[in-house]
């Protein structure tokens, strides 16, 4: 019975948020939470950079630049007041360092990947420090 009530509650939350472009409903550990476009994008970035790390450690080069990451410039932030000139500069730098992973010398892939991860850490030090320990796990320490 509890499962049915939970499912109905989730469906109600989803239907109440239907049509809201800037938020996504996510269920984490049984809790219903709203998630901004930027939060969803950053989770995708984390996942893709974790995949890149695995590929690089396996001797492979990532092949396709994730174009959806360009939404970093337009995705709705959890707190819209955080979209400051510094955010744009950090976002531009992230995209620039990420593009370098997909071109050029294969022998410097670890360095290029770590530059991408460090660009994330640098930005997060200015606004949202919570994910920094998780982001640091993406670094290649070899």
pLDDT tens-digit series, residues 66-103: 999 999 999 999 999 989 999 999 999 999 999 999 99
Are residues 96 and 110 located together in one domain of the fold?
A: yes
Same domain, 17 and 42: no
Residues 31 and 70 in one domain: no
25 and 37 in contact (C-beta within 8 Å)?
no
| Domain identity same for 6 and 61 | no
Structural domain includes residue 21: yes
Q: What is the mean pLDDT of the chain?
A: 85
pLDDT of 61 higher than 70:
yes
Does 91 lie in the same domain as 49? yes
Looking at the structure of the chain, the number of domains it has is 2
Claim to verify: residue 78 and residue 27 sit in the same structural domain: no
**Which of 34, 43, 88, 90 minimizes the C-alpha distance to 66?**
43
User: What's the confidence (pLDDT) of residue 13?
Assistant: 43
Q: CA–CA separation, 55 vs 90, rounded Å?
A: 25
Give tens-digit pLDDT for 34-58. Answer: 899 999 999 999 999 999 999 999 9
Question: What confidence score (pLDDT) does residue 17 get?
Answer: 39
Residue 18 structure tokens:
């239907």
53 lies in the same domain as 116: yes
Same domain, 27 and 80: no
The span from the CA of 6 to the CA of 12, in Å, is 10
Structural domain that includes position 12: 2-35
Same domain flag for 25 and 88 = no
> Considering the entire predicted model, what is its pTM?
0.77
66 lies in a domain?
Answer: yes
Positive or negative: CA dihedral 44, 45, 49, 50? negative
Question: Over 90: is that where the pLDDT of 104 sits?
Answer: no
Whether residue 3 has pLDDT greater than 70: no
Residue 30 shares a structural domain with residue 40: no
pLDDT of residue 25: 64
36 contacts 46 by C-beta, under 8 angstroms:
no
pLDDT of residue 21: 46
Residue 142 belongs to a domain: no
* pLDDT recorded at residue 15: 38
Pair (24, 41) in one structural domain: no
């Amino acid at each position: 019975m509890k499962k049915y009530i939970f499912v109905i509650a989730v469906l109600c939350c989803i239907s109440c948020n239907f049509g809201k472009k800037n938020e996504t409903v996510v269920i984490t550990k049984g809790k219903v939470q709203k998630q901004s476009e930027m939060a969803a994008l950053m989770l995708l970035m984390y996942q893709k950079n974790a995949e890149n790390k695995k590929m690089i450690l396996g001797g492979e080069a990532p092949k396709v630049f994730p174009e959806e990451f360009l939404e970093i410039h337009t995705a709705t932030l959890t707190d819209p007041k955080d979209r400051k000139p510094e955010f744009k500069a950090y976002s531009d730098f992230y995209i620039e360092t990420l593009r370098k992973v997909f071109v050029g010398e294969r022998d410097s892939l670890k360095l290029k990947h770590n530059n991408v991860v460090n660009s994330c850490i640098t930005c997060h030090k200015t606004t949202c420090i919570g994910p920094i320990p998780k982001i640091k796990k993406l670094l290649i320490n070899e």
